[in-house]
Amino acid sequence: MAIGFVSGSIPFGLILGRAHGIDIREHGSKNIGATNVGRVLGRRQGFICFALDALKGALPVLAVWFFLVGAHPERVNLVGTLMPLVGIAAILGHVYSPWVGFRGGKGVATSFGALVAMWPLMTFPALGALVVWVILVKLFRFVSLASICAALSLPLLLIVRVMWTANETSSPANVVFPMLILTVVLAFLVVWKHRPNIARLRAGTEPRIGTTLRT
C-alpha cells in the first residue's frame, strides 16, 4: 500500500507542465489532472497525462498479483482483498500528493488504471464506465459531468457483471465484497473532488470541451 501511494503521488501533470516551461497549477482550473493539462497544453499532452496517471494506478495493482500469487494460486483470495487496498492507496496518492502540498488531481485516470488492472472482476466494469464517460462527453461536452456519472456507474456495473457471469463462474464473496466497497469509495471520492465543478454546473458556468474556464 505504501508503494501504491508513492506511485500514485507522482504528479505527472505538474511534470509535463514543467517540461513546457509552466506551472500547470497557475493555469486553467489550476488542477494537475489530465483534463486541465489538455486544456492548457493541448489534447496530445492531455492524453499523455491520462495514460501516465492511469499507469501509476495500474502498475502497483499488477505488482500485487505478480509478487503474491506467482506459483502460489492458493493466495488468490488474499490478492482479491489486497488489490483494492493497493488501488485505493494509489488513488489517494494522486488525489492528495505530498509533492504538491497534498492537493493533487481528481483521481479519475488513476482510478481507471487501477480498476482495469484488477482482472477479470473489475476490468469490464471499468471499461463500461469508460463507455459511459465517452457517451456523456459526446452528448454534453462536460468532462466533469461525464467523470461523475462514470464513477457513479461503477458499483452498478460491478453488480451487473457478477450477476451476468453467475452461471459461468463463481466469484467468492470475500473477493466481490472488497471490490464493491472499492467502487463505492471511488464514486464518493470522485464526486467529492468535483464539488467546484458541481457548483459551476448548477450555476451554468462550467466550461465545455473546447472553451476556457471562467474563474
Q: How many domains does the chain have?
A: 1
The angle that helices 143-164 and 173-193 make with each other, rounded to 10 degrees, is 170
209: in domain? no
User: Mean per-residue pLDDT for 4-9?
Assistant: 97
What residues make up the domain containing 20? 2-203
What pLDDT does 8 receive? Answer: 97
92: in domain? yes
What pLDDT does 215 receive? Answer: 44
**CA 107/CA 25 separation, integer angstroms:** 16
Q: Kindly list the distances between the CA atom of residue 136 and the CA atoms of 92, 118, 147, in Å, as whole numbers in the listed order.
A: 26, 25, 9
58: in domain? yes
28: in domain? yes
39: in domain? yes
**pLDDT higher than threshold 70 for residue 212:** no
Q: Are 88 and 185 in contact (CB under 8 A)?
A: yes
212: in domain? no
**CA 62/CA 167 separation, integer angstroms:** 27
46: in domain? yes
pLDDT in tens, 137-164: 999 999 999 999 999 999 999 999 888 8
Element (H, E) at 169: none
The three-class DSSP label of residue 30 is coil
214: in domain? no
The three-class DSSP label of residue 103 is coil
**pLDDT higher than threshold 80 for residue 78:** no
pTM exceeds cut of 0.85: yes
